[in-house]
Amino acid sequence: MAVLQGVRGLLQRRGMPQLPLRPDSNKPSPEGQEGLEQYDLKELIGRGSSGRVFRAVRKADQLQVAIKLMGEEAVATHREFEIMQAISHPNLIRALDFFQYNCGAALVLTYVPGGTLTQAVKEGAGFLAEGKAKHLFRLLLEAVSYLHQHRIVHSDVKSDNVLISPDLATLHLTDFGSSRTLRAGDQPLTSTTIDFSAPEVLAGEEPTEKHDVWGAGLCLYYMLTGRLPRSIIRFTCFEDFCDAVQSSAISCSGPHWRAVSDDCKATVRYCLALEKGQRPAIRHREVREVMRKVDLEDSRGLHPRSDGLQPTSDI
């Protein structure tokens, strides 16, 4: 119980609700306890509606990891683990282990220092310079492109799920709790973030690859301006928010956009087209077109590509 007490102690010191106990929590699972006892929990580094994330150290080799503790959602967490185990890309967080314990399930992930894209923008100047924003956007496109080539829809691409290094040089897409594969028989999930939901998803459709493109486009918009074009908190009701997203095209105008290049504005509008069929397919040939438009720094050799390839103008 020492580890569970340590978790509760961390939450209590931060004035946060404690993880719920199952009715039979006085009967610990030997297998789950053994899994959690392999790690020293150091600090709380993130939280969401489905769980909390701690920085931890694996006792066996002192490897720093991130441990995502979920409540009663063991099945969903294991599904997330299976999807993450099947992928490997430098811009995606990897899953290292999964186990159940008294209060739910734990997902062990690679740890990367830094914070979320939301934090990087808020803690800086309130927005990112175009060159830096385009560099990070390219890294995000590479991650999304890799997923789509492997028939995986992330479904929740947003600034809170994008981890950025302190020097703003590297990027990792995380949180696959809403992800699904496009294999026959795989049940779709509908857990998306409202502010980052594409028009068709707000209308009731299941998220597809084009929903991921919308989310990536909003991340670029957010980096360049420090805000989203629309947020539900600015509307009196959900229906008004949906109507605005579904009927009004994104306008890249105003003070925040004066220093942004026309090519970058065009890319934002391309990814945020109201009709999903008009958005780019972020895989194969089309992804090179988008990267060519947004990554002028790469063509000048200022930012080496993470996949080792040189930029190309072939479409």
Mark whether 96 and 228 lie in a shared domain: no
The domain that holds 188 is classified in CATH as 1.10.510.10
Q: Tell me, yes or no, whether 313 lies in a domain.
A: no
* Residues 16 and 63 reside in one and the same domain: yes
> Are 190 and 97 in the same domain?
no
Expressed as residue numbers, the domain containing 34 is 2-110
Same domain, 36 and 127: no
pLDDT on residue 30:
38
Better-scored residue on pLDDT, 95 or 296: 95
Same domain for 185 and 260? yes
Same domain? 142 vs 287: yes
Whether 273 is in a domain gets the answer yes
Domain stops at, among 93, 110, 127: 110
Domain count, the chain: 2
Mean pLDDT, to the nearest integer, of 166-194? 81
CATH of the domain at 88: 3.30.200.20
Tell me: the pLDDT tens digits for 65-114? 999 988 766 667 788 888 998 899 999 999 999 988 877 889 999 999 99
pLDDT computed for residue 133 by the predictor? 96
22 and 151 belong to one structural domain? no
The residues facing 101 across adjacent strands are 104
Judge whether 308 lies within some domain.
no
Q: State the pLDDT confidence band at 232, using cuts at 50, 70 and 90.
A: very high
Distinct helix (H) and strand (E) counts, the chain: 11, 10
More confident residue, 146 or 4: 146
Residues 136 and 264 occupy one common structural domain: yes
Residues 271 and 133 placed together within one structural domain of the fold? yes
Encode pLDDT of 194-230 as tens digits: 999 999 999 999 999 999 999 999 999 999 999 999 9
Across 50-71, average pLDDT: 91
Tell me if 147 is assigned to some domain: yes
Reply yes or no on whether the pLDDT at 7 is more than 80: no
The pLDDT, as a whole number, for residue 70 is: 84
pLDDT the model gives residue 310: 33
- Look at residues 110, 139, 157 and tell me which one is the last residue of a structural domain: 110
Q: Is residue 44 included in any domain, yes or no?
A: yes
Q: What is the pLDDT of residue 289?
A: 61
Q: Is residue 307 part of a domain?
A: no
Please determine, for residue 240, whether its predicted confidence score (pLDDT) is greater than 60: yes
Asked whether residue 19 falls in the same domain as residue 60, the answer is yes
**Quick one: tokens of 56?**
């931890």
pLDDT bucket at 47, cuts 50 / 70 / 90: confident
| Same domain assignment for residues 121 and 259 | yes
Q: Would you say residue 310 lies in a domain?
A: no
Let me know whether 150 and 287 are in one domain: yes
Res 300 pLDDT > 70: no
Evaluate the CA torsion angle 178, 107, 88, 164 in order and state its sign.
positive
Instruction: Flag whether 68 is marked binding.
Output: yes
* Contact call for residues 107 and 80 (beta carbons, < 8 A): yes
Burial class (CB in 10 A: 0-12, 13-18, 19+), 132: middle
* pLDDT tens figures, 144-153: 999 999 999 9
Q: How confident is the model at residue 35 (pLDDT cuts 50, 70, 90)?
A: confident
Residue 207, both tokens: 């998220």
In this prediction the pTM is 0.80
Q: What is the pLDDT of residue 294?
A: 57
Q: Domain end: 56, 76, 110, which one?
A: 110
Question: CA end-to-end span of the chain, whole Å?
Answer: 58
